Structure 1
Amino acid sequence: MMNVFRRFRFRSNRSIRFYKYFLSYVLIVLILLSVTGVAVYSHFLQVFKEEVENANVAALMQVRDTMDVRFKEMQRIALQIAENQQLTPYALNNSGYDWYHSVNELNKYRFGNTFLSNLGIVLNRAPERRLFTADGVYQMHYFFNNVFRYEHWNEEEFVQTSASINRPLIRPVENISLNNGASRQRFATYLYPLPANTENPYATVVFFLNEQTVNDYVSPFLQKYNGAFFLVDEKDRPIVTAGGEWNAEELKAVWSRISAAQLQRQINSLVLQQSNYSVVKLPSTVNGWTYVTLIPSDKFLQPVQSTQQIITAVFVSLLFLGLVLSFLLANINYRKLRELVTIFGERAGDKATNGSGDEFDYLSDALRETTRHETMMARLNSRTGLLREKLLLSLLQGKSDRLYELDNLFEMSGVHFVHSHFKVMILEIDDAFAFQRGYSANMQDLLKFSVINVTEELIGEIGKGFGIDLAEERGIAVVMNIPKMSDEDSEIRGIAVKIQQFFKSYYKFSLSIGIGRSCQQLDELRSSFVDAERALYYRFLKGNEQVLIYEQLYTEDAASKLSGYPVNMEEQLVKAIRQGKADEAERAIGDILSAIAAKSATPAAAEASCKGLIHLLIRTIDEWEDAKDFRLEVEELLTNSYVTIERLEYELVRICRTLCDTLMMKKESHNFELRDNILSFIEAHYADNSLTLENIAARFGVSPSYITRFVKDQTGLPLIRYLGQVRMQKAKAMLRTTSFTVTEIAERIGYVDTMNFIRNFKKTEGVTPARYRELSSDKGSQIAGSEE
């Protein structure tokens, strides 16, 4: 620390600005520490109390949310049981195999919920009293006397309660004698009528909840706080209780004290046996029950004293550290200020202020003087730029009768023509809409400005270039002043390609460039500009990202080319659309547009042929009455102006593909005979292990993708999944009714690999084939035993 002070030792030449810095930092440190100290010491106990209460609430919320989720799951199970076809009154009134299915379905619900010990369903108006559970089917008197004997509840009371409730009801935990007294456990019973909230429910779902299972959810909370837990129903009766240091009788007495206290708030205080407790209650989110905890308050206040001492030491340390940091920061900021003052003084030829002055005053005066100078230069540059734009626009607009007025502008704008020949180059962004959407207006101007600079720099290799942004267009015009060259077109094309590469590599957009004819007089620049525009018009035939030189385009033997395309191509396109063959329609459109591009002498001729193709599509679409939307979409192509023929091809292919798919789907939806033939074929040949998607499709003369989509439309499953479903149904039937081995069954349903069959069976049914057979056999025997 002493080394630091030696480095930043006090200097007598520091100005008052340094001490202002230092005192400002010290003041900030004192304010922060004072506010923090008052907040800590004044509200320390209150904060700790709130922490205790928040901890209790948060912990109880975790318990409540966990328990509510379980009860929501039981409600969901009850609703699923009501919709399960294997658990309808009709199925439950039958016997034999239907009962096996009913028990199996209940067993699935139990396996899916670890909160449940067992569950069952009873029909309220059945001729015989039976209880269907996940363990089997029982006569009511046998179940209540031998399997599940309540300490304070019997068969008649259960039947009466089940028939009289119209909303969910839970019975508090009580002692249960299991399996003829083999063991004794405590259970809560949750009854859910089907349907709920009606006057005459036809059945009741019974959930058996082991108290130990509930306590397992609560025990982590109780072990941490050494408190008590109560789950209370609407009538203020404890359903489930748990406590680390209290037994059942003590918990009952504790609850009588809590209930008598008439808890009015979420968090309450209570004194029990001369000890302070915090009582927290939370209502359930799914029913009218209440969750209550009792926590000793003093357990959270033990570390208060030691924490106060720690805070005092931290406060003193922070004060000392704040003073040191204040000195260091003040010295660093002041040194930078002195360096800045020295720099300004050296540039201005002045002597920097000494320690008696204020550095800020000196800098303010210097900056004002600098700003005045820069403002004057900016105005001059802006005026020069405007003069240059005016001059170049006048030349491109062909105002030859006013050239004498422009002479004075050449010198003022910095435009100097030193060579004998002139050409105009126009640069246009191919996807102008995406460019405008991807960049803001200011960013677009900046990018165009950079392109102008790069273009002028590249043209400087052979002459001079002067660029201007065509504000009403989407491109840039460049006036080139070049000497007479033998390979002029080759040189200019090379420069144009470099410009395209630069723009695409940095801005990810492509440029098309049109170049006009060479001229020797300024009043001929207008003609060169028009030539460049005409050259760009050839993008419709040549495509995007082209360098289009007017003299090369118009020297071709245009007369040797004819417009149009062979008539047989139209016939192929119309035939493909009528048959709904999208791929053939796409090929036909590509062939027609390729022929147009090859045979058209000018872009105008190509556009005329393309409009003829569009009218052909409109006439074809008119053959279907419900294809008006497609007609409107095609008609829009007549009004839209497409820069390239490739873009027009994309739009035509998109419309024709959608039209073909629509026509094909309409044909498919009415092909019921094909559906019946395919399903009958699968039913007859499912055991054939050589059966594949390809040979089934070949059998019916269609493509694999078509038959897959067709079967899915008719059955809801793709063809191969439908075949797998049929095979699994056959396998289940053989497992239940035959003694074939798993390998034999796999071979009989068309599987070559037995392990593959076992994996697919388990994935579909949830158990292996052997286990499925075992369960089928055990359930059948159990049902028969219960009936006896």
Structure 2
Amino acid sequence: MKWNHFKSKLLVKYTLSYISIFLIPLVILTVIIYHNAVKTLRSEIEQTNVNQLTQAKTVIDDRMKELQDIAFRIAYDEQLTRYWTHHPYYSRESIGALVKYKATSSIIDELFLFFRGDNNIYSSQGLENLDVFTGRYKFNTWNKEDLIRDLNTVRLPTMRPAEQVIQGTRGQKSMLAYLVPIAPNNTPAHGTVMYLIHESNLTGLIDSILTDYHGMTYIFDNNGQVLAANHHGDTITKNDVKALFQLEPGTHSLSLNGETHSVVSVKSDDGWTYVTAMPSSQFFSRIVHIRTFVVLVFSFVVIMGTVLAILLARRQYHPISDLMEFVRLRNVRSLSEPPSQTNELDWIKKTLHDYSKRVDLQEPYARNHILLMLLKHGHTGELPSDLKEQLGIRFNRSHYFVVTMGWETHSLPEADPSGGWPLMQLMNEVELPELTAHAYGVELPQPDRLALIVGFNADTGHEASLNGIMEAIVEALRSMVMEHAGSPPVIGTGNRYSHPEQLNQSYIEASTAFEASMLHGQGSTTFFHALSGAKDSSSFWVPKDVLLKLDQSLKQGSYDVAARMISTALDSLKEEMPSVPLLRCICFDILNTLLKTASELGMHHVVQELPSITSYDSLEDLEKKLAGLAADICTHVEAKSETEESSLMDEIVSYIDANYSDYDLSLGTISSKFSISSSYFSRSFKEKVGVNFTQYIWQKRMDEVIRQLLHTSDPLKDIISRVGYLDTPNFIRKFKKETGYTPGQYRKMHSQNGSADASDDEDEEYIG
């Protein structure tokens, strides 16, 4: 009960935490989203109104241009000259022409043509005397005298504001009068075209474009006069109208009649101003449904989020509970005992810490494998590209080279029982800040051998300065090794390169220099660039360092480097262009290097291919044949290496199978016995059998324990100790984890003679 109470407290804590984590950001986010949505919606509505009002302005401006175009065509129409309209016979055709011009525009209510100084005026309905015309059309503010004067004197297109006009028996309507003087060929105006336009024709155009709009609409001329307006039942003062006209183009918030309005203003090229004004209360009434929607969604999300938080807390707690049980079993605690000083998470943290130690033990092997592949091939093959970064391997220096070190076996202290080499642990990663250098240690397959991949930065490009830096780095590494190993190493150093992909070349060079250094005894250091000596510019012979690298690359099965050395040697000959007899002699140096290496590797059959190799027509043909021979040698080396490795692993597996009950059996003891490095053995063993060394030993011991449990009645402790396991309680826990039963329970279930009745008590004796 006490355990369940503790567990429920943690679960409640998780649940409240998830709900808090969910609700607090949700509330803040909802408020922000709501305000942004309202602001965005208002901005979108206003921008939409601006766009629609601009569209309406464009349409009306186009209509006004159409009226000016009609007046222009009338001015040049022969049927509408003064002579033609006054002619008794052709005047009817003139009236017909006016009818056609009127039909070309949808906003014209009536079209009139007046010749200045005349007493008649012409329209689509016929000829009228001015007295009859002014009697039939009575304007509210435009009297007869002013009308006639304007018809005779107007100089520019003029729009009169809308006013009430009585049209005889047709009643009273609000109309605008648009006067356009006509003057063909830039002569003084001899007439005036007057259009009568219903105010609703203009405001109707705006209303048809401003869909779902219920505010006020105004059209002002250049002087601020209201040409046309649509109030939709609302009225404002003259001062407010003046304020609307004075607004800059764009959106505004303005108080009209004591009420806040959202106002949009645009101007046309002709100077007209178009204004719409909508009460802000109408705007907010359009977002009420948004507020309702947000509240409903918020409530739904809160309910669902709370449910999901509870489910998530239970789901998250479930693996914690399982891990807790696992930790309790590993610590041999009673199932009914509650945690005292710590909670489940602390226990899980301890377990993860234990497993992290295991990972840390395996990481050096993976790291060493990556670096070894770079040394051998210049790349990591099919391994993930980001694996180097995960293992802490970074190449960010300007120059790189490889250093190979080795000792005689008896001159170094023995490795620890776990297989670790203290010196390798020291040189795993070395930082030399005073030389801007960084080195990664690589344990080689040969015992008591290691390589160092060194990277350093140097601003100078001078050969002597760079060689001096390399010598200082090697000396610093040598002093560091001497201080901890107590014995001077044999050192071989390869040339420097600018890219990590060329490390395989530097490794070949370092191995060559190491072999040369071994001849001078313990403590000697050899640089590869010193092996070839100074180059004689008058000599045609292949440089010694090229032949040395070719020999070493063939021995290590590195075809890429071997092919590059052959190409380098022949390229230098192509540049020198010696005589043909001398060229053949020089080429035999390369061929002899290949044949000598092949002979040392036991490939005596290549001698039979000499006739075909030596019969070449050009250096390109020779390079192709030499590269083919190098490929055969490298293939042979790799195959031989794989065969030897497979044979060695078979021998090691057989040894383990025969000695797995030895509790001293470890990576270190086997590596020492078979003269291979522990990291090389660990990698090769897993590739061979599919599991690592520790798992293999455990499975062998498990199988033997099960066999003895089923076929003997020996005490459990004796059986476990016979298979090389000294920690009996820990073995019982691991046995139960794998089989689901303790060894005693397993023996009792599978016993053939029923002689294991006391097995459970025996288990309790060790785990209790």
Higher relative CO (Cα under 8 Å, sequence separation at least 6) belongs to: 1
For normalisation by structure 1, the TM-score amounts to 0.38
For normalisation by structure 2, the TM-score amounts to 0.38
